[in-house]
Amino acid sequence: MSLLDFSSDAFIVAFFLYCFGFLFYGVSALGRKWSKRSPEEHIRRWGRVAYIVSLLGFIAHLTFFFTRWSGGGHIPTSNMYEFMSFLAMAIMAAFIVVDAIYRKPLLGLFTLPLVVIIVAYAAVFPQEVQPLIPALQSYWLKIHVTTAATGEAFFAVGFAAGLMYLLRTVDFKKTDQRARREQRWVEFTLYVIIVIIAFIGSVFGFRGAGYEANFKQETVEIDDSGAENSTVNTVEYSLPPIFKPYNSQVVTMDSFLGIDKPLFETPHWMHGVDAARKLNTITWSIVNGSILYGLLRLALRKRIGAAIHPLMDGIDEDDIDEISYRAIAIGYPIFMLGALIFAMIWAYIAWSRFWGWDPKEVWALITWLYYTAYLHFRLSRGWHGSKSAWLAVIGFVVVMFTLIGVNLVLVGLHSYAGV
Amino acid sequence: MKSNRRLIQVLIFLGVIVLGGYAIGNSLFADGGGLPRKGSKPPAFALLDADGKTHRLEDYKGKALVINFWGSFCPGCVTETPDLEAQYKKHGDKPFEIVGINLSEDRLTINNFIKQYGVSYTILQDNNRQVESAYGLKSYPTTFFVKPDGTIMDVFIGPMGEQDMDERITKLLAS
Amino acid sequence: MSAFENTKCECGHQNPTGTVLCENCGYPLDPEEESSEAPLEMRYDGIARRSQKANPNPIDRVWNFFSSVKVAVRLIVITLIAAMIGTIFTQENAFISFDPTTYYEGKYGWIGKWYYKLGFSNTYESWWFIGLLVMIGTSLVICSLDRVLPLYRALNKQQIRKHEQFLVRQKTVYTGEIEGPEDVWTDNMAKQLKRKHYKVHMEGGALLAEKNRFSRWGPYVNHIGLIIFLLAVLLRTLPGWSIDNYVTVAEGDTVKVPETKYYVKNEKFTIDYYTDAELPKELKGTARAKLYETQAILYTCAADCDDPSKEPKLTEVKRHNIIVNDPLSYNGIKAYQFGFDDTPKLKAVNPVLIDKKTGKSYGPFKLDMRNPQLNFELGPYSLELRQSYMDFALNSDGKPTTKSREPNAPAFVFLLKGPGLSDKGEPYMYFPKQNDKARFSQDVINGELAERFELKVPAMEGVEFTPVETSLNIRYDRAMPYIWVGAGISMFGLLLGSYWQHRRIWLRLDNGRVTLGAHTNKNNYGMRAEVTSALRGIGIVVEPKSLDNGRNKS
């Protein structure tokens, strides 16, 4: 098992290298104002350092991937942890490809944090190597998952460039209605990203502190014959309970900031799988995210978007628009091949039908239709620039919902990939 | 050139109307779970009666036919049996048959049932639920009324009262 | 668009209605384009779409509706939203048996009620969703047809010498004075471009270089593939084109596959779980399936297929160990591992008859749950089976009945005859399961007879259970090849259109001055780089950015 331990270490190394890569990209963008060198020279130098560090991170990530493959006996794309870290790796690869074409160091400033967040998010999930259940024992696991993720990775780069475009072009000084609306939405997008960071931070913070709370929940169900069956389940929380499960008793609960009993009870109509725990986690993420956002606002003394906007000065916006479009145009055929055609072939072999309107399948189709619409919109002149950038940003939300939301919110055949 | 273009347009629209109409029509008249529809032909069967004689659906061609799926475990099936028997006696002189297909129970149970209720119409034994699933049954009893031309006049799901039975059989005999 | 349009270009060419750029020289005809200074709208090379006519009739109007990309995108967006709504709650087809009229309201309240009422509980099979797909299909055909033919004609008879307006309003533009004779300059330039795999055409001081024109057909090939795919999906619904059946086969049994002439035998069914040694420590002790396998044999029926009084004569055609990702496949018929049932069901018991007075036991005899033997001779005694109940219960009249046909609580009524018993025999009720015997108080029912005799299974070996049942999904899908062909063509077209770009460079020389315009359908960045590199080849050094026309407005 030492190969797997080595693999985990490589994962951590990759994570930190990505963090540093991001940091250096930050230096390259921020520092040109106070650097002694000429701005171009500064960007070129630090952009290069950042690129090399990120590339090293990518190499460490590849090492993680292949050692885990060899140590675990199957390709590490079979559960959420493995898939998310593969996605992050694919985004890095897509970034390297797009960067090789366009040579825009600042693209890294937006892609790297995305990679860092996804790698960290992957680590939220259980990390042990799980032997494959019969449904996954097929070489299509390698082909389907990797191609689909690669397509999605290009969409992610398209998203990063789209967001970059918006931060470059949305004028935070203007006060007309249209500008204000765009400012609000850009700010909201950034806020959502901060909430996601807060979510990951909260999970790791409390996990590091070893926080635990247990509940006994009684659920009453009426079966077909009309008899009442009540079952008692134990529900475990790793975050302090703001919301306790509906109709439950505390078994054990660590106290947090002097709070030693749950503040609220989850309403009874939320009865999905682990609904109470999810509600609690979301509440924590929003609370912490809002605090984090507030602190950032205090420190910057202006909106975050307004703070980032000046960093983008001098970047050719049409180039970013093209990068965003190009990344999506490169990713689209790969996505169709992996997420629809290979998926259909595998579904035909494993489940006897090539299409069954399973939620995951439907969402892959929705993603495909979405980007189909995007590409057709691009045909007309009015949909370049900021509209197109917004579409790229929203498109990535659709992608993420397909990858994560479907597993966490909806039910279906792909549920083995869940938490 | 110009008439050519019009021809292509018309052809494409015709294609769309035929294919699209077929697709939409299919979804509009989709059958809920494969139960044979009114007007269609019931699936063929070949089953044994109590004496080990083979009976086939085509043997009943040209006669008004009632196919009744039943089981001794289904209370509704048991209650409607005497009424079916009465109908069978009443129309004995006409080209009319009732076939009771048992839901894959065993010989002994079927024979006891025939004896207990004095059933004189044909009782057949299904095996491994094959005919039952070919007919797409979801609940019991289910009764099919088949016209002499071999098409289904009506399908009744659930136990029938005397009147339900009488109405349909009268209509069936008139067809 | 005005009712009357002058479609005659200043170069003398007569263009069809709706033309944006003159088919011949490329001069902008559209008044809006003509007065603007922005790069030209080069979509479909500025040709008139087929359907654009001066006086449309109703058929033309419908045609024009479907011919619009805007309409197509709207259709896509509507379909997308409908598909999203369809994933909110579980669709009806995911359930085997339930009542949708009450399920959605019961589980999700008024939202569920309306979800069902509006037909979203069966979104993907509903007439309106299929209707949307039909409309998208129509739009695919008409949009493509309307554009591909004129585009083909336009690209096939391109004018080499274009209007100056056309050149300077491309997205990539270079103008400059040249040194030396004009024809030497163009020859050099042609050489450079040929090295970049361009096809070069020249005509008196004008040049057209073109490459990868085929990529323009990519989207149309893609659309053809999608249409084939949609038609193939429609084919599947024709009667006889697809079969979808489930068979449950106990180990050792052979079962007929409904709707076919095939029989399938389950030789052996295996379930393997991962051992603790194979599991990570977090999962140790959990049952994690490793393998579901049915060793299956497929037969066709040679004779006596349709006669239940005779055993069918079977011929083996295929033997295969079916696992989840590896179905049995024969002549288009496929058998997939779908599930299994290993809950023990009583198959037979082997009881003995005990004479309680003498302590002597007679038997054992085999009592099958299904179609049991009716008479048993046990020493001096005989048993005659009179009644059997698979799932014993008392009905509302207090009479014995069976609740189902599964041997959940089997009960048997025998007539016991022999020495010391009445000649007609005495009824004896027997519950093979111990807990039923107590639950229904067998001894009370049998009364005085229970004190003299007992039917009893002497040891656990006397109880037989049905073997594990595998359930197989039997499929036949004649349309599958067409589905794959459609998907393949569509993918091929997409690759053509996405990863190659149609690039064209025009240039004209007028009195020692060169005007160069270049156009690509995608990736202007690469186009500029290529023009820069070609210019460098003949000694003109420019920054790629400087070729960029009409952008960086500041």
What does the pLDDT look like over B64-121, one tens digit per residue?
A: 889 999 888 888 888 888 888 988 888 888 888 899 999 888 888 888 888 888 888 8
Q: Do C323 and A126 touch (CB under 8 A)?
A: no
Residue of chain B with shortest Cα separation from C375: B108
pLDDT average, residue stretch A305-322: 84
Residues on chain C touching A344 (C-beta within 8 angstroms) = 483, 487
pLDDT exceeds 60 at position C4: no
Candidates C130, C142, C256; nearest CB to B23? C130
Candidates B9, B54, B128; nearest CB to C63? B9
Predicted pLDDT at C539: 85
CA dihedral C256, C258, C261, C264 (to 10 degrees): -40
Residue-wise pLDDT for C321-351, tens only, equals 999 999 999 988 999 999 888 888 888 888 8
Predicted pLDDT at C552: 42
Candidates C79, C327, C494; nearest CB to A336? C494
pLDDT exceeds 90 at position A295: yes
Which candidate, C404, C251, C275, places its Cα nearest to that of C340? C251
Residues on chain C touching B19 (C-beta within 8 angstroms) = 134, 231, 234
pLDDT average, residue stretch C309-314: 84
* Long-range own/partner contacts, residues C369-375 (CB < 8 A, 24 or more apart): C369/C407, C369/C410, C370/B106, C370/C407, C371/B106, C371/B107, C371/B108, C372/B106, C372/B108, C372/C412, C374/B108
Predicted pLDDT at A418: 36
Residue of chain A with shortest Cα separation from C328: A349
- Let me know: does A286 contact A195? Beta carbons within 8 Å: yes
Smallest CA–CA distance, residue A153 to chain C, in Å, is 17
Does residue B39 lie in a domain region?
no
C258 reaches B (C-beta below 8 A):
yes
Candidates C80, C324, C325; nearest CB to A370? C80
Smallest CA–CA distance, residue C487 to chain A, in Å, is 7
Residue-wise pLDDT for C538-554, tens only, equals 888 888 888 887 654 33
3-state secondary structure of C480: helix
Candidates B8, B28, B138; nearest CB to C97? B138
Predicted pLDDT at A189: 92
Q: Do B20 and C258 touch (CB under 8 A)?
A: no
Smallest CA–CA distance, residue B49 to chain C, in Å, is 10
Nearest-angstrom CA–CA distance, C187 and C208 = 12
Q: Residue A244: in which H helix or E strand, if any? A: strand A243-244
Residues of chain C above pLDDT 70, percent? 97
Nearest-angstrom CA–CA distance, C238 and C221 = 26
A172 vs C97, which has greater pLDDT?
A172
Direct distance between the N- and C-terminal alpha carbons of chain B, in angstroms, rounded to an integer: 56
Q: Do C138 and B108 touch (CB under 8 A)?
A: no
C237 reaches B (C-beta below 8 A):
yes
Candidates A102, A137, A366; nearest CB to C80? A366
Candidates C43, C83, C87; nearest CB to A379? C43
A235 vs A180, which has greater pLDDT?
A180
C381 vs A91, which has greater pLDDT?
A91
C6 vs C172, which has greater pLDDT?
C172
Domain region containing B6: 1-30
- B169 and B100 in a common domain: yes
Predicted pLDDT at C138: 93
Predicted pLDDT at C1: 38
Q: Do B23 and C50 touch (CB under 8 A)?
A: no
Predicted pLDDT at C3: 37
Chains C and B touch (3+ CB pairs under 8 A): yes
Chain C interface disruption, residue of A127, A352, A384, most C CBs within 10 A: A352
Pairing of the two strands C503-510 and C346-349 = unpaired
B37 reaches C (C-beta below 8 A):
no
Q: Do B27 and C372 touch (CB under 8 A)?
A: no
Prediction pTM value: 0.88
Q: Do B19 and C231 touch (CB under 8 A)?
A: yes
Predicted pLDDT at C2: 39
- Predicted confidence band at C50 (pLDDT cuts at 50, 70, 90)? low
Token readout for C90 is: 């579980």
Q: Do B20 and C387 touch (CB under 8 A)?
A: no
Smallest CA–CA distance, residue C401 to chain B, in Å, is 7
- Predicted confidence band at A225 (pLDDT cuts at 50, 70, 90)? low
Residue of chain B with shortest Cα separation from C60: B9
Predicted pLDDT at C553: 37
Nearest-angstrom CA–CA distance, A114 and A108 = 10
pLDDT average, residue stretch A397-404: 90
C50 vs C236, which has greater pLDDT?
C236
Token readout for C87 is: 């994933």
Does residue B111 lie in a domain region?
yes
Nearest-angstrom CA–CA distance, C410 and C389 = 6
- Average pLDDT of every residue of chain A: 86
Smallest CA–CA distance, residue A353 to chain C, in Å, is 9
- Predicted confidence band at C73 (pLDDT cuts at 50, 70, 90)? very high
Nearest-angstrom CA–CA distance, C49 and C147 = 6
Q: Do B20 and C134 touch (CB under 8 A)?
A: yes
- B57 and B139 in a common domain: yes
Residues on chain C touching B73 (C-beta within 8 angstroms) = 390-391, 401-405
Q: In chain A, what are the domain boundaries?
A: 3-172+304-409, 177-302
- B60 and B25 in a common domain: no
- Predicted confidence band at A419 (pLDDT cuts at 50, 70, 90)? very low
A238 vs B121, which has greater pLDDT?
B121
Nearest-angstrom CA–CA distance, C385 and C428 = 10
Residue-wise pLDDT for C56-70, tens only, equals 788 888 888 898 888
Which candidate, C269, C265, C267, C243, places its Cα nearest to that of C254? C265
Question: Chain C, 386-415: which have a CB under 8 Å from a chain B CB?
Answer: 386-388, 390-391, 395, 401-405
Smallest CA–CA distance, residue C327 to chain A, in Å, is 7
3-state secondary structure of B124: strand
Does residue B116 lie in a domain region?
yes
Residues on chain C touching B6 (C-beta within 8 angstroms) = 59
Q: Do A322 and C525 touch (CB under 8 A)?
A: yes
Spatial strand order in the sheet of C333-341: C242-250, C469-477, C333-341, C328-330
Smallest CA–CA distance, residue C93 to chain A, in Å, is 9
pLDDT exceeds 70 at position A411: no
Q: Which range among A245-249, C116-120, C125-129, C254-258 shows the weakest confidence by mean pLDDT?
A: A245-249
A338 vs A276, which has greater pLDDT?
A338
Question: Chain B, 92-111: which have a CB under 8 Å from a chain C CB?
Answer: 103-109
C255 reaches B (C-beta below 8 A):
yes
Residues on chain B touching C145 (C-beta within 8 angstroms) = 8, 12
The number of folded domains in chain B is 2
B47 reaches C (C-beta below 8 A):
yes
B19 residue type, one letter: L
Predicted pLDDT at C256: 87
pLDDT exceeds 80 at position C43: no
pLDDT exceeds 70 at position A81: yes
Predicted pLDDT at A222: 62
- How is domain C162-212+501-547 classified at the architecture level of CATH? 2-Layer Sandwich (3.30)
Candidates B12, B27, B108; nearest CB to C130? B27
Q: Do C309 and B48 touch (CB under 8 A)?
A: yes
Q: Do C59 and B109 touch (CB under 8 A)?
A: no
Is the omega angle on the peptide bond into residue C364 within 30 degrees of 0, that is, cis? yes
Residues of chain B above pLDDT 90, percent? 5
- B85 and B18 in a common domain: no
Residue of chain C with shortest Cα separation from A221: C107
Q: Which range among A38-42, C112-116, C216-220 shows the weakest confidence by mean pLDDT?
A: A38-42
Does residue B146 lie in a domain region?
yes
Predicted pLDDT at C365: 86
Nearest-angstrom CA–CA distance, C236 and B23 = 11
Residues on chain C touching B1 (C-beta within 8 angstroms) = none
Q: Do A129 and C280 touch (CB under 8 A)?
A: yes
Instruction: Give the angle A337-A339-A342 at the CA atoms, nearest 5°.
Output: 60
Chains A and B touch (3+ CB pairs under 8 A): no
Does residue B11 lie in a domain region?
yes
pLDDT exceeds 80 at position C363: no
Q: Do C80 and A411 touch (CB under 8 A)?
A: no
Residues on chain C touching A372 (C-beta within 8 angstroms) = 76
Smallest CA–CA distance, residue C155 to chain B, in Å, is 20
Residues on chain C touching A322 (C-beta within 8 angstroms) = 523-525
C29 residue type, one letter: L
Highest mean pLDDT among A121-135, A247-261, C40-54 belongs to A121-135
Predicted pLDDT at A35: 62
pLDDT average, residue stretch A279-295: 89
Candidates B24, B107, B138; nearest CB to C127? B24
- B62 and B120 in a common domain: yes
Q: In chain C, what are the domain boundaries?
A: 49-154, 162-212+501-547, 216-233+480-499, 242-343+469-477, 351-456
